[in-house]
Amino acid sequence: MIVPKSRPQPGPDAPLTAERARYLRLVAQGMSNVDACREVGVHRITGVRWRDGRNMVDSGGRARHYAPIAAEAVTISARFLSEEERLLIGDLLRTGLSIRAIAARLHRSPSTISREVRRNTSDAGNYRPFTAHRIALSRRRRPRSGKLAQ
């Protein structure tokens, strides 16, 4: 790991804000923690602490929690169901509304709602909106350049 000489020394006056922002961009592009930390010039454990946050006890014996750095929320096209829509689907299913009534209320096709419910219903018969959204986000394509651009 090569640390640039121009980088400020760590401490309360120099929080490495530019490095954090660059780390976030690299990880969002699909780079691993180790590679992103190597590129930015910080230790891999620093990258883990930035990503996951940190719990520690200071010299006075007080427990401190440092929150993870957060990337700006990625906006998803209106073409896809949002987390709020999935929550509403779950609430409306619990009230006993039909698939067609839920679709009409959300201004979506009944087949979209039916497919969403069928895909994300547990073995016990419960629709799980948070799990559904997490799985849908994991199925999204990662950003990469096209074949011709390479």
Give the residue numbers spanning the domain of 8: 1-72
Identify whether 23 is part of a domain.
yes
CA distance 107 to 101: 10
Q: Which residue's entry shows tokens 């923690």? A: 33
Within 10 A of 100 (CB to CB), how many other CB atoms are there?
12
Identify whether 77 is part of a domain.
no
Identify whether 39 is part of a domain.
yes
Query: Does pLDDT of 144 surpass 80?
Result: no
Q: Is 23 helix (H, G, I), strand (E, B) or coil?
A: helix
pLDDT in tens, 49-87: 888 888 888 888 888 887 787 766 667 788 899 999 999
Q: φ and ψ at 113, to 5 degrees?
A: -70, -45
Identify whether 144 is part of a domain.
no
